[in-house]
A and B are shown apart, each in its own frame.
Chain A
Amino acid sequence: MDQSAFAAALLDPSLPLPAGVTCARGEPDATRFSVYRNNVVASLSRALGERFPVVRRLVGDEFFNGMARAFLTVSLPRSPLIFAYGDTFPDFVAGFAPAAALPYLADTARLEANWTRAYHAADATPLPVERLLAIAPERLAGIRLLLHPAVALARSDFAIGTIWQAHQAEVVGSVIVAASESVLVTRPTFDVRVHVVPPADGVFADSVLRGETLGEAAATAFARHPDFDFGHALLGLASLGAFADSPLQGDPA
């Protein structure tokens, strides 16, 4: 038996059964082989549905399973760590023509992907806000803070944080989707937290998460949002758990 032919037939129902497959009657039986086909497709679709529950609710089970099937046919998991399956699903959703009527779907998927990564991220103590407050203001600009392993940001032209929050309830109220939102995911201890941050703080957080110094990130935010409040944004990010505890420049020796 050639496992490549077996795998190909699993993923493409139009292919004939692999050579050498039989049953106790001494003949191949397509119903039996389709049990394996169903297992692969159903288990991977279920895994995606568990990782992207809000996307699934937004489009309904039938549409979601069709989209999942289209995705898994071109993107099988790269490892047996199924909780990590779907890191590229948001990009796939963005290009999935049948979902084009829901332009916020891909960014909602990005937020959900961030949520799972945060859930499984390494444990780390968040940087206490008092440590930041102890630093002389003139030294802050040159600092790069160590990011918490769980922190992630999703920025969207749509209200993905509000959409996500609304779909945590059994009954979903109406949501005005056409409002840009930046959504920060953190996990200070074991519970994943989802926060919509102000637009200027979102620009700042995006720069900080890309590894810019606090001064560079503040300049970027200020250029886009003249009302940007550096101190408020920095303390806000720290209090939400965006940074990990570590020795800082300016700490008392």
Chain B
Amino acid sequence: MNAITPSTSLLPARAGLGLKPEHVGEILDTEPDVGFFEVHAENYMGDGGAPHRALGEIVARYPLSLHGVGLSIGAERPLDTAHLARLRALIDRYRPRSFSEHLAWSTHESGFLNDLLPLPYTESTLRRVADNVDQVQQAVGRQMLLENPSTYILFEDSTIHEIDFLERVAARTGCGLLLDVNNVMVSAVNHRADPFAYIDRFPVERVGEIHLAGYDETMDGAGDRLLIDAHGSPVSDDVSALYRHTIDRAGPLPTLIEWDNDVPAFPVLLAEAARAEAVLDSAKSWRDARLARRA
């Protein structure tokens, strides 16, 4: 294992927003007080044009988080070295404060499936994921954060709890973790688990960023609740409560509002960010008061 510079929390412990092309003009005109912006790496892998111009203007004003959705770290096939080279070039060009990807797979011999697909948690998949995370960090020259997935199914051959899986990958590779609190709620409801117990067990000291989003709700074949990770609505009340619980336990952490589908007007996103920021502010004042008492 080669040394990777640890940089788990270079983003400010504030609320950030996903950058949408339709909002760039308003953001540059009004320069709202947003903690950071996050973009999907793959959307900025063209050669030039308006996307790069916009991203250049944003990074001149705000911290950037780069979030990959196409590396397919959980795939059975080798990582795509051309894609790793594109990522490296993007990271060298824009110097994001954070780079993150998913515990999932999306590529196959037949092509790119454009969804974050689940994998069983076994000793063999753990070795493969850790090897891939190692390879990614070497290729891009920095630490990455690995995100917990939202899932709709389980695998009979899984033998390792998801939290232990993530923690062992992080311990072996030195990667940080991205804790998606909406994903925790979605998976917990879908698999009849306790989301608060999940947060209480999660290695929060390894977390470099939090994601929040809205979910959709439906029913499975037996009429059981089935939550869908939809990124197309406000953060729900139960996820907001779980988020407060997370920040109470972990302290203030960079927190992204993900809203990728049916994207609303920018002020709606700002209001979502303000809700998260209020939770972070109360945690900061509580922490400061505690430090003052100790002094």
Q: Which chain B positions have C-beta within 8 A of A33?
A: 152-153
Which chain B residues in 166-207 approach chain A with CB under 8 Å? Answer: 190-193
Asked if B153 and A83 sit within 8 Å, CB to CB, the answer is no
Asked if A190 and B155 sit within 8 Å, CB to CB, the answer is no
Contact of B75 among A3, A39, A120, A190 (CB under 8 A): A3
Asked if A23 and B112 sit within 8 Å, CB to CB, the answer is no
Asked if A80 and B107 sit within 8 Å, CB to CB, the answer is yes
Q: Which chain A positions have C-beta within 8 A of B224?
A: 23-25
A 76-94 binary contact with B (CB < 8 Å = 1; else 0): 1111111100000000000
**B51 in the interface (beta carbon within 8 A):** yes
Q: Which chain A positions have C-beta within 8 A of B154?
A: 21-24
A 155-166 binary contact with B (CB < 8 Å = 1; else 0): 000000000000
Asked if B152 and A32 sit within 8 Å, CB to CB, the answer is yes
Q: List 13 A-B contacts (CB under 8 A).
A: A1-B120, A7-B108, A23-B153, A24-B191, A24-B193, A39-B115, A40-B113, A76-B111, A120-B47, A121-B47, A123-B49, A123-B52, A149-B47
A 179-213 binary contact with B (CB < 8 Å = 1; else 0): 00000000100110000000000000000000000
Asked if B49 and A21 sit within 8 Å, CB to CB, the answer is no
**A61 in the interface (beta carbon within 8 A):** no
Residue of B nearest to A124 (CB): B48
CA distance A122 to B120 in the complex (A): 41
Q: Which chain B positions have C-beta within 8 A of A28?
A: 153
Contact of B110 among A11, A32, A39 (CB under 8 A): A11
A 111-128 binary contact with B (CB < 8 Å = 1; else 0): 000000011111110000
Contact of B155 among A22, A78, A82 (CB under 8 A): A22
Say yes or no: A149-B48 contact (C-beta < 8 A), given A40-B113, A43-B114: yes
CA distance A40 to B193 in the complex (A): 26
Q: Taking beta carbons and an 8 Å cutoff, which residues of A are in contact with B?
A: 1, 3-4, 6-7, 10-11, 20-25, 28-33, 35-36, 39-40, 43-44, 47, 75-83, 118-124, 149-150, 187, 190-191
CA distance A115 to B47 in the complex (A): 14
CA distance A83 to B43 in the complex (A): 7
CA distance A122 to B45 in the complex (A): 11
Q: Least Cβ distance of B29 to chain A in Å? A: 17
Residue of A nearest to B193 (CB): A24
Asked if A80 and B115 sit within 8 Å, CB to CB, the answer is no
CA distance A77 to B71 in the complex (A): 14
Contact of B109 among A1, A4, A32, A190 (CB under 8 A): A4
